[in-house]
Amino acid sequence: MDVGFIGLGRMGQAIAGRLLDAGHDLVVYNRTRSKADDLERRGATVAQDIAGACAGRDVVFTMLTDDKALDTVVGSGLLDALAEGAIHVPMGTHSVTALTELAETHDAAGQVLVAAPVLGRPDAAAAGQLGVVPAGPADAIEKLAPLFDIIGRRTFVAGTNPAGAAAVKLANNMVLGCAIEAMAEGFALTRKFGVTPEVFNEVLTDGLFAAPAYKVYGGIISNEAYDQAGFTTLLGLKDSNLILAAGHAASVPLPSCNVYRDRLLGAVAQGDGERDWAVMARVQARASGLE
């Protein structure tokens, strides 16, 4: 399949690399040209601009930081260059409002939008172990299924409304953020009674919470490995604001989200915006008189 890919951060590079290795004809674009160098060495074509990554492509993936970046890319060449009937697949975490409006824009241009945010960190992307959550026209999702199989371990079809995919991604991130906040409080409480972080982490991950999220983030908190950011505090804060906006739009109260959103905001205020979002445990520790 002729594929375009725009946005080559850590996640984008890993996903694009898997598509390339599977034999698809890949054209890539990134604002910082050097981030495309490895893919170019492996056989990808590097476009000089956004339009060049979209012209003649059956499908164009975008992996972008936020709604503003998505709007800029769409308005700076993607919409005009994408062929009639071609599919745009935004894989980043975007608001339900942005995807609703974008679906209408593509429909008016005779194009197709399938929102497909992913679940997992960059190492999972490189291994093809992401969860993929597409939502959009059923025939388009069926066409994309072979590509999703390359990218992820499982595809969770979230219906025909692209905003539904955003809702799933945001809700998943909310539950994960709440889990990290709860772990942070648990680590702080046990430390106050002289228990080492390693012991509490073993208790968590050997019992009821022997799940990847607790193992990954429990390990980060226990080892204070916040500088090895798989998902930054600033991105977590951005997503928490999107979650609260979605809840407001649908009249769904989300009190737990407010708690960990404030913890993330505190981490940013303390200069930890670029550290892994598990650093909210450090904020909790400081609030507990531990640092």
Residues catalogued as catalytic: 169
Question: Could you tell me the CA-to-CA distances from 11 to 78, 143, 189 in Å, in that order?
Answer: 20, 23, 35
- What CA–CA distance (Å, rounded) separates 1 from 4? 10
62 burial (CB, 10 Å; 0-12 / 13-18 / 19+) is buried
SS3 assignment, position 254: coil
Element (H, E) at 45: strand 45-46
Residue whose token pair is 């697949």: 89
3-state secondary structure 69-118: HHHHHHHHHHHHHCCCCCEEEECCCCCHHHHHHHHHHHHHCCCEECECCE
Contacts of 101-108 with C-beta under 8 Å, sequence gap 24+, read 102/70, 102/74, 102/162, 103/136, 103/161, 103/162, 103/163, 105/74, 105/79, 106/79
Name the phi and psi angles at 273, rounded to 5: -60, -35
Strand partners, 2: 25
- What CA–CA distance (Å, rounded) separates 28 from 46? 5
Tokens standing for residue 73? 């890319």
Task: Determine the residue type at 145.
Answer: A
